[in-house]
Structure 1
Amino acid sequence: MLIEAGHYALALALALSLAQAVMPFWAARIGDPVLRGVAVPAALASFVCIAFAFGALTYAHVTSDFSVQNVFENSHALKPLIYKISGVWGNHEGSMLLWVLILALFGAIVALARDAVPATLRANTLGVQAAITFVFLLFILITSNPFARLNPAPFEGRDLNPILQDPGLAIHPPLLYLGYVGFSISFAFAIAALIEGRIDAVWARAVRPWTLGAWCFLTVGIAMGSYWAYYELGWGGWWFWDPVENASLLPWLAGTALVHSTVVMEKRDALKVWTVLLAILTFSLSLLGTFLVRSGVLTSVHTFATDPTRGTFILGILILFIGGSLALYAWRAPTLRQGGLFAPISREGALVLNNLFLSAACATVLVGTLYPLVLESLTGEKISVGAPFFNLTFVPLVVPLLLLVPFGQSLAWKRGDLGAAVQRLLAAFAVAIAVALGLAAFTWGGPVAAPLGIGLGAYLVLGAAMEIAARAKGRSFGLSLRRAAGLPRSAWGTALAHAGVGLTVIGIAAQAWSVESLATVPRGGSLTAGPYTATLDGVVPRTGPNYTETVAQLTIRDRDRHAIGSLEPGRRFYSTRNMAVSEASLLTVGVSQVYASVGESLPDGSLGLRLYYKPLVLLIWIGAVVMALGGGLSLTDRRFRVGAPIARRARGAALPKAVPAE
């Protein structure tokens, strides 16, 4: 009965979301504030219904109820509890239910945030959000019902894909969805404001926390997915330019531009038209990512196999929301005036240039991802666009963008002094050049671009630190510390996020010095990669809850032959799925890693061994976490805690109407 109740709860949420979508706009048409207020309880009730449905499906997975087709196809009675839970979203139907649950959660939060935005804007935003929820609930109920029953019920399930039975995949999808779906709030705010014709700095203040929060979750989600692919797939790489990886990178690039654009709009009441367009495009790219993963047009370890009906339905959703929002934008945008003016040499100017580089980089990734698909659909010809294309097109756009970041921090609002900004950053630039030249001399004959990348990362970290130092500078060290402590949290958050970018750049650049060794090693034999040597001590069998495993026991020694640790890579065989997977093993030395994976064991007892030395590799993901922490710290800034000024003056007051362009 619980499963049927969960199915019924989804149908009830469908009806509630339809009412939530229609009532606010009808209320605006007839001027009925009571009818407008229906959006808030409807949003809360819809969330409760979807949360109940998700809980029912989770209960079915945890209790191994194989009469539910979704549980039968993605679970096993012997599977560990954490993977029974993560199996809920380790498939198409469950992942879409999680997607809608997060969508409804954000809608409920907006409904409860009574002081954050004016009542009319909140109601219209909830209406747009409900329209998205309604369409995706309809998609689930028609094509992807997670509560379908099997009769008779099988005795045992087919188990979850072994590659997905990993703690990283228990965390990665929810974080990624919080980012993807979080941008739906920015989208809903943009569409609501276009419908109302009222966009100003108060709107930017209201939408920026949602954008920044979604960006933080998406940053950590992408980093978690990258780290999972790095250690789980056994190939030692952290980014492959896989089309599904690109599908998550696209909204991140557009979202990064949106975060910076809302700053300009909030501070200077400028870039209104551009900011609204970015809000629409960012969520549109999130929807595109959803289509690529679930339509069956891509073959990837990240995708869910689906039938053509689902792909057609999602394509219809894309056309509805992307086409409809862009049509509304084209109709309304000419009526909006840009607002405040600023000189080209200013912080606003630097942020505009930042947006241009990010948009161009995003377009490059989009073209490289979609071109093979479009070409195949039109001509039947299959081509692949891989790392060489993206490295030659994406990197030249990102490097000048990164060089610009510290300058943007150092320039004043409205009109900046370029000479003063250069002087402030001279020390950071000099240290970065010294680092690059020193590394080039030390590694003479090695990669040329790697020292430059390390220098660029050091420049970003030092530039962020010097911005804080310049703003806190006082007559004495004690006064400087007090001023630094009194700086807005957004200033510290910005510096932290930019420093995180620098750490990631250093980690990426250092991979040019990574070393890979591959050999068949007999028992007692050794293999060397960089400064470390792995000795094969033996091979032992093990039995897990739902798999058998062959584990290689390796001792890792440094150049002085001192043992510094051990590794235990292996190969697991899942009998239910009749599938074998490699399990890499990693030894962390500082922020570097020794990485080992194994192949099949040979009859003579020897083993195929792949050994990597990855210098500074952890900085890639540490930098991403630091970026997200910087964004999170900015979210605690006072101006976000107190809400928009208009909300403090008169709760529920409407935003001032935009002045038509002359």
Structure 2
Amino acid sequence: MIAETGHYALVLALALALIQSLVPMIGAKLRDPALMNVARSTAVAQLLFVGASFVALVLVHVGSDFSVANVFENSHSQKPLIYKISGVWGNHEGSMLLWVAILALFGGLVAIFGSNLPLSLRAHVLAVQGWIATAFYLFILLTSNPFLRLAEVPVEGRDLNPILQDIGLAIHPPMLYLGYVGFSISFSFAVAALIEGRVDAAWARWVRPWTLMAWVFLTLGIAMGSYWAYYELGWGGWWFWDPVENASLMPWLAGTALLHSALVMEKRNALKIWTILLSILTFSLSLLGTFLVRSGVLTSVHAFATDPSRGVFILLILCLFIGGSLTLYAWRASSLKQGGLFAPISREGSLVLNNLFLTTACATVFVGTLYPLALEVLTGDKISVGAPFFNLTFGPLCVPLLLAMPFGPLLAWKRGDLLGAAQRLLAAGLLALFAVALLWAFVRGGSTLAPLAIGLAVFVIVGALVDLVERIALFRVPLGISWRRARGLPRAAWGTAFAHAGIGVALIGIVCESTWNSEYIATMKPNDSAMVGGYEFKLNGLSQRQGPNYREVFASFSVSQQGAVLGTLTPSKRSFATRGMSTSEAALMTRGVSQLYVSLGDLRADGAVAVRIYHKPWVLLIWYGPLLMAFGGLLSLSDRRLRVGAPKPAKAARALQAAE
């Protein structure tokens, strides 16, 4: 009965989405406030019904109701509770239900907290959200119904993919979807603006908090996915340029450009056409990621579906929304009035330069990801585009971007002083050169460019601090005055500094891990020892134990440095009988911001085991950087200017608007 309730709730949500997509548009055309307000009530009601549907799916998974095909295919009665819950979105059908639930959540938030929006704009935004929701409800109900019953009830389920039975799965997909789907609001605002033919600074102020929220979630989702791949897959890597990884990176790059473009539009009423286009492209790239994962064109640990009919349906949705929005853009963009002018050397100019590099980097990833797929479709030839291509194309684009990053906040709006900004960044430049010289003098091995990359990271980090120092006039006025200025600074200023510094922190981690990591890959027997990165790893022995739904062989390694025992690492190899699969569970020991990493390979008949042992210097900075960036985004989001948004129209203005 729970499954049927969830199914009916999903059907009712579809009906509400259809009403939401049509009635407010008619109301906006007729200037009828009552019809336009239908968008608000239907968005909230749709959220309630799709929420009920999602809860129903969670309940049948937790209750191990194997009469439901989705539960039978992806669960097991002995599976831990956390994985029964996270297994809801560990499959195609459940993940799509989570997708539309988050879509309805954002629509509901706009309906509830968007009372300061003009009535017609809110009606159009929620109507566009209704179009998107309608398409995906139809996709789920026609091709991916998670509530289908089996004619014969099995005794036990087939279990979830063992690789996905990890705490990272409980965090990574919801975070990623909150980012992916969150950009639908920016898309809806853009399409609504094109329909109305009116875009101004107030529009940018309304759209920027939603974009920033989606960007924060996507940043956290990508970072969590990277860390999950690092410790769960047992390869010791943190980024593989997998097509589905790239599918999450592309909307992040476009969304970062959108944030900066919306800032220029809000402050200077400029870059209108560019901001609208980026709003469309960012969500379009999110839809592209959905297509890649569910079309069957990719073979990846991330890929959920291999049914071509689903891929065709998603492709039709892709063509409808991307093609339709770009057609509308081509038709209406010329009617949008240009905003304020600015000199090339200005804060606006620096943000434009930033956007050019970001979009070019995004285009590079796009070509590298889709070119092999297009070539195979057109010619049947299979080629592989991997890390060498992306490192040689994406990396060089990041260098000028990072060099220019500290200058932007120090330049004035409209017309800036480049020489003055350079003088204020002199200390940052000197510290960067000192870091380079120090590394060249004392660090051996690795690429000669690595110290230069770390110097660039130091320049970015210190440059972000210089902006704060300049704002509070530190060392130029008494400390008490600087302290009061610091307390009075907008949170957005602090958020910008933290986000920019986070990029520098992540770059240091990337360079150190890639350049100076040590590895040992061999076969070891009990009492064998290996030296890696100045640490001694001794294999004490192998043991077995029974888990909830797997059998596990684990090894005990004593880790010591200069004769002092630091602790024990217990990597394991798990075998899941139901699925007939095995996984490697890496063991990690954190030393400051560095890590020691051990994973097991195949066991041999003579009692030996294949092992991978790594010393990864400063590797945790790779993920501390995105956390710092997300924290900066949250600080900016808490800024009063973004929380308040545009002021509510006065009563007289609202009455006039209703009478029009």
Same-fold call, TM cutoff 0.5: yes
Shift of 1:114: 3.6
Shift of 1:445: 4.3
Change (3 A) 1:148 1:617: same
Q: Secondary structure at the match of 1:19?
A: helix
Shift of 1:564: 1.2
CA distance in 2, matches of 1:152, 1:652: 60
CA distance in 1, matches of 2:567, 2:411: 49
Q: Secondary structure at the match of 2:549?
A: coil
State the partner residue of 1:333: 333
Shift of 1:437: 1.7
Change (3 A) 1:29 1:381: same
Shift of 1:651: 7.4
State the partner residue of 1:348: 348
Q: Secondary structure at the match of 2:115?
A: coil
Q: Secondary structure at the match of 2:521?
A: strand
2:584 aligns with one of 582, 585, 588: 582
- Larger deviation: 563-572 or 265-274? 563-572
**2:573–2:583 Cα contact (<8 Å) kept:** yes
AA aligned opposite 1:548? R
CA distance in 2, matches of 1:5, 1:92: 20
CA distance in 1, matches of 2:72, 2:586: 29
Corresponding position: 1:537 with 2:540: yes
Change (3 A) 1:257 1:652: farther
Q: Secondary structure at the match of 2:552?
A: strand
State the partner residue of 1:660: none
Q: Deviations over 1:11-48 (max 9, x none)?
A: 11111100000011111222211111111110011111
State the partner residue of 2:435: 435
CA distance in 2, matches of 1:114, 1:164: 37
Q: Secondary structure at the match of 2:148?
A: coil
Task: Pick 1 or 2: higher relative contact order, CA cutoff 8 A, min separation 6.
Answer: 1
**2:116–2:648 Cα contact (<8 Å) kept:** no
CA distance in 1, matches of 2:238, 2:447: 19
1:484 aligns with one of 483, 486, 490: 486
CA distance in 1, matches of 2:602, 2:170: 28
CA distance in 2, matches of 1:571, 1:648: 66
Corresponding position: 1:175 with 2:175: yes
Corresponding position: 1:522 with 2:525: yes
**2:541–2:556 Cα contact (<8 Å) kept:** yes
Change (3 A) 1:647 1:509: farther
AA aligned opposite 2:508? I
Shift of 1:337: 1.5
2:599 aligns with one of 579, 597, 600: 597
Instruction: Give the alignment's Cα RMSD to 1 decimal.
Output: 1.2
Q: Deviations over 1:61-103 (max 9, x none)?
A: 0000000000000000000000000010000000000000000
Q: Secondary structure at the match of 1:87?
A: helix
CA distance in 2, matches of 1:3, 1:650: 50
2:626 aligns with one of 615, 624, 627: 624
CA distance in 2, matches of 1:58, 1:652: 43
The correspondence of residues 263-278 of structure 1 with structure 2, limited to 5 A, is 263-278=263-278
CA distance in 1, matches of 2:146, 2:652: 45
CA distance in 1, matches of 2:387, 2:173: 24
Shift of 1:481: 1.4
1:567 aligns with one of 561, 569, 582: 569
Q: Secondary structure at the match of 1:598?
A: strand
Shift of 1:654: 9.3
Change (3 A) 1:567 1:253: same
CA distance in 2, matches of 1:310, 1:45: 28
2:516 aligns with one of 506, 510, 513: 513
Change (3 A) 1:480 1:523: same
State the partner residue of 2:155: 155
CA distance in 1, matches of 2:328, 2:655: 24
* Structure 1 length-normalised TM: 0.97
How many residues are matched?
Answer: 654
Change (3 A) 1:264 1:649: farther
Shift of 1:467: 0.6
Shift of 1:8: 0.7
Q: Secondary structure at the match of 1:339?
A: coil
State the partner residue of 1:324: 324
State the partner residue of 1:462: 462
Shift of 1:449: 1.9
CA distance in 2, matches of 1:114, 1:283: 20
- Amino-acid identity (%): 65
State the partner residue of 2:647: 645
Corresponding position: 1:13 with 2:16: no
State the partner residue of 1:498: 500
CA distance in 2, matches of 1:653, 1:418: 48
Q: Secondary structure at the match of 1:38?
A: helix
Q: Deviations over 1:389-412 (max 9, x none)?
A: 000100110111011100111111
CA distance in 2, matches of 1:134, 1:31: 24
Q: Deviations over 1:334-374 (max 9, x none)?
A: 00112111111000000000000000000000000000000
Which stretches of structure 1, 4 residues or more, deviate above 6 A after TM superposition?
Answer: 648-651
Shift of 1:267: 0.3
Q: Secondary structure at the match of 1:299?
A: coil
Shift of 1:649: 7.3
Shift of 1:252: 0.2
Shift of 1:9: 0.7
Q: Secondary structure at the match of 1:520?
A: strand
CA distance in 2, matches of 1:147, 1:114: 34
**1:118–1:653 Cα contact (<8 Å) kept:** no
- Larger deviation: 524-533 or 385-394? 524-533
The correspondence of residues 101-500 of structure 1 with structure 2, limited to 5 A, is 101-473=101-473, 474-500=476-502
CA distance in 2, matches of 1:300, 1:70: 21
- Larger deviation: 450-459 or 144-153? 450-459
The correspondence of residues 76-95 of structure 1 with structure 2, limited to 5 A, is 76-95=76-95
* Structure 2 length-normalised TM: 0.98
Change (3 A) 1:319 1:562: same
CA distance in 2, matches of 1:471, 1:49: 49
The correspondence of residues 596-615 of structure 1 with structure 2, limited to 5 A, is 596-615=598-617
CA distance in 1, matches of 2:216, 2:361: 20
Q: Secondary structure at the match of 1:609?
A: strand
**1:118–1:651 Cα contact (<8 Å) kept:** no
**1:447–1:513 Cα contact (<8 Å) kept:** no
State the partner residue of 1:659: none
CA distance in 2, matches of 1:89, 1:635: 28
Q: Secondary structure at the match of 1:168?
A: helix
CA distance in 1, matches of 2:446, 2:240: 23
Q: Secondary structure at the match of 1:500?
A: helix
Q: Secondary structure at the match of 1:149?
A: coil
Shift of 1:650: 6.5
Gaps of 5+ in 2: none
Shift of 1:443: 2.0
AA aligned opposite 1:534? F
**1:411–1:417 Cα contact (<8 Å) kept:** yes
- Larger deviation: 323-332 or 633-642? 633-642
CA distance in 1, matches of 2:396, 2:270: 28
Shift of 1:646: 5.2
